[in-house]
Amino acid sequence: MREQEIQPDFDAPTQGGAHDAAPTGGAHAQEPEAAPTGGRTIQEDLEHAMRGWGADRRAILGRLQSATAQEKAEVRGNAQLMGRLRRELGERNFQTALSLLGATQGGQQQGGQQQGGQQPQGRTRSGAVSGQSAQIIAQRAQWDQTIMTSRDGEQVRDAFARYWNVQLSDNAQNSNWSVSLLRSTHEALKALPDQDTRAGVWRRLNLIDGGGGSWAAGQGQFNLGADAEGRRAQYGNRRVDWLAAVVRHEIGHAVDTALGGVRAFKQNVGGWNTAGTLNDTRSIDTWANQMGNGWTGRGGSPSSQERAQIKEHIKNFFAAFRGNIGASGRPLETGTQADHPIRRYLNAGVPVIDVAKACAAAGPQFYADSNARRVVNGKIYSINPYYGRLQSCNAAVGQTILRNYQLFSEAEFFAEVYTVFYEGYDPQSGGQPGRHVPVPEWRNWLLQNVHNRGGAPDRATERGQTNPSVGIHAGQDGAPS
């Protein structure tokens, strides 16, 4: 996809205050998640996992796997609980539960296959999730436990890589993967649906300096800035955990990649359109046509010869910003002679020049500057100086700001809506995400096309598949390469 191809290494700039992130000043107080048995009975744990809108099969099966013999007997002896488990889990997963409880001969499947083994589909027609699936589920519960409780950095890194089936790497000069950073990242990832985090699209988590993140689609690589930890950022009227927001944002890009570009959202819902980049000055004419009559203002219209000079100047002017998010804006007429046509039409109300002027003054931070939101015929037009791209979107995108960064590009619009869509969502208890997305059209699109799309890993688990291309990570769950 074009967006990601030209956006390999930049995203979510955090230095310079564009996103309002600020260190909290205090230590990042990370509450360790309650261990499976944290003071509660197994019945309470299971009921907790079955609470709400949908049962968390993974939590239930993981808890059963870690149950003591006495706890297993307790569950087996509780007919009401067993009935509830059957209803909540469905027949196939219930068979797995039975085997974990030692209540059926289905247990003989356990250990029958090694990790990574190919498993013919249909083998589990009898109804049971394969022993391999159950084994993976149980292992993930153990890795989760390690990540959340171990103080051994190497152990936690290893468990993290296995749990998420990603490679961990470190390109940061000033920091290393710390246990607390991995734990916080892990918790943020667990607050997203499996179908998004574990679709196999995201394959590497790379530590970088700074406090932002980025997504490199070609490599399936999520770059995470070490300084994101412990900060908070403003989204609407809420102060949210910045690290968790970066995680949702970059996974949002991964979902964009997985779904092939979410064109329907960007173009139909957001009205995003591009006339191309300033590599070719003819793009400016295309853009002017999209505006209606973008070359004509109240104070006149440049001749074709003047337009050629103006276009050449705009191209060269914005070239200096390309790929440089830290640059400062400056007047569009900078460096031109007194008789240059750009000066003649600077205040003539010519839409092309007005938009260019506003974005030139704002520079690469144009998205955060309300003066750079020029509306022409119901759409916001902008030049993204970072990409040198001539773009536009529906005025509505600028009227409901989740975070200013949604105006940076169509890809960021999707990623930011996704970020807010899953804010405060808890897959463990189910329920509807999206309560912080105030625009019904945005929220409903994500509900229908992202949240309820019936994505892979969960379904694959249900079917006992471990090696579909869209399944539990191509059967490699336990063995990241």
Catalog residues that contact Zn ion under the rule CB under 5 A.
11, 412, 415
Nearest distance in Å: CB 214, Zn ion? 7
Between 62 and 261, name the residue whose CB sits nearer to Zn ion: 261
Instruction: Tell the smallest beta-carbon distance from residue 413 to Zn ion (Å).
Output: 10
Residue among 196 and 412 whose Cβ is closer to Zn ion: 412
Contact between residue 351 and residue 291 where contact means Cβ atoms under 8 Å apart: yes
Question: If you ran DSSP here, which 8-state letter would residue 40 be given?
Answer: S
Which one, 243 or 415, has the nearer CB to Zn ion?
415
Among 450, 333, 427, smallest CA distance to 57 is for 427
DSSP 3-state assignment of 330? Answer: coil
Question: What amino acid is encoded at 399 in this protein?
Answer: Q
CB of residue 145 to Zn ion, shortest distance in Å: 32
Q: Residue 144 or 196: which CB sits closer to Zn ion?
A: 196
Rank residues 88 and 256 by Cβ distance to Zn ion and give the closer one: 256
**DSSP helix/strand/coil, 391:** strand
In the complex, the smallest distance separating the C-beta of residue 12 from Zn ion, rounded to whole angstroms, is 5
Amino acid present at 193: P
Q: Say if CB 222 and CB 171 are below 8 A apart.
A: no
d(CA 185, CA 173): 20
Q: How far is the CB of 202 from Zn ion (least distance, A)?
A: 14
C-beta of 14 vs 113, nearer to Zn ion: 14
Burial tier of 348 (Cβ tally within 10 Å: 0-12, 13-18, 19+) = middle
- Pairing outcome for strands 374-376 and 231-235: unpaired
**To the nearest whole angstrom, how small is the minimum distance from the Cβ of residue 9 to Zn ion?**
11
Taking CB atoms, the residue at the shortest distance from Zn ion is 11
CA–CA distance, 104 with 76 (Å, rounded to integer): 11
Q: Which helix (H) or strand (E) holds 142?
A: helix 131-149
Judged by CB, which is closer to Zn ion: 11, or 88?
A: 11
Please give the Cα distance from 19 to 37 (Å, whole number): 39
**By C-beta, is 50 or 420 nearer to Zn ion?**
420
- The nearest distance, CB 253 to Zn ion, in angstroms, is 6
Question: Least separation, in Å, of the C-beta of 446 and Zn ion?
Answer: 16
CA distance 357 to 355: 5
- Where does residue 22 rank: exposed (0-12), middle (13-18), buried (19+ CB within 10 A)? middle
Kindly give the pairing relationship between strand 213-216 and strand 221-225.
antiparallel
- Strand ranges (DSSP E) for 271-397? 273-277, 374-376, 379-384, 389-394
CB of 211 to Zn ion, least distance (A): 14
Task: Please identify, using beta-carbon distances, which residue of 164 and 367 lies nearer to Zn ion.
Answer: 367
Tokens of 117: 């083994």
